[in-house]
């Protein structure tokens, strides 16, 4: 079974530029999460999707971050404009369905904002 796929793996941009991250969850997994992980910290939730519906986006900085999960499969997370403090690893995770709490992470995208 293929795992969670993310791209790109690394991204370097200058501040104020836009950036987008893509995630393809494990086949058949209805729940998708985007987490942010800073160095020395645990992952922190940005947004959670049940199928195509964003059911928890309370931690997403909506002034600059947006996300979508069209058709309830792939998801894209966008930052516009990026700030220096956005430098971090952006992790996508998925779980089979609501109520199944085990989450499986993709390799992450390491973002550096200069």
Interface ranges with another protein (CB under 8 A) = 31, 33, 35, 40-45, 48, 56, 89, 91, 98-99, 101-108
Q: What is the DSSP letter of 28?
A: T
Q: Which is nearer to another protein, 22 or 104 (CB)?
A: 104
Give the H/E segment covering residue 55: strand 53-56
Q: Which is nearer to another protein, 24 or 31 (CB)?
A: 31
Strand partners, 65: 79
Shortest separation between residue 79's beta carbon and another protein, angstroms: 19
Task: Find out whether 34 and 91 touch, Cβ atoms under 8 Å.
Answer: yes
Shortest separation between residue 81's beta carbon and another protein, angstroms: 26
Shortest separation between residue 100's beta carbon and another protein, angstroms: 8
Q: Which is nearer to another protein, 20 or 89 (CB)?
A: 89
Q: Which is nearer to another protein, 17 or 112 (CB)?
A: 112
Half-sphere exposure in the Cβ direction for 52 (13 Å, CA):
3
Shortest separation between residue 16's beta carbon and another protein, angstroms: 27
Strand partners, 111: 11, 88
Give the H/E segment covering residue 31: strand 31-37
């Amino acid at each position: 079974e293929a795992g969670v796929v993310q791209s790109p793996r690394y991204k370097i941009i200058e501040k104020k530029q836009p950036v987008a991250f893509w995630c393809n969850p494990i086949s058949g997994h209805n729940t998708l999460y985007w987490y942010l992980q800073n160095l020395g910290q645990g992952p922190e939730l940005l947004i959670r999707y049940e199928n195509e519906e964003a059911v928890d986006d309370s931690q997403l900085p909506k002034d600059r971050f947006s996300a979508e999960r069209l058709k309830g499969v792939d998801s894209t997370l966008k930052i516009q404009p990026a700030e220096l403090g956005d430098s971090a690893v952006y992790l996508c995770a998925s779980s089979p369905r609501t109520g199944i709490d085990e989450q499986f992470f993709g390799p992450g995208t390491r973002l550096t904002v200069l």
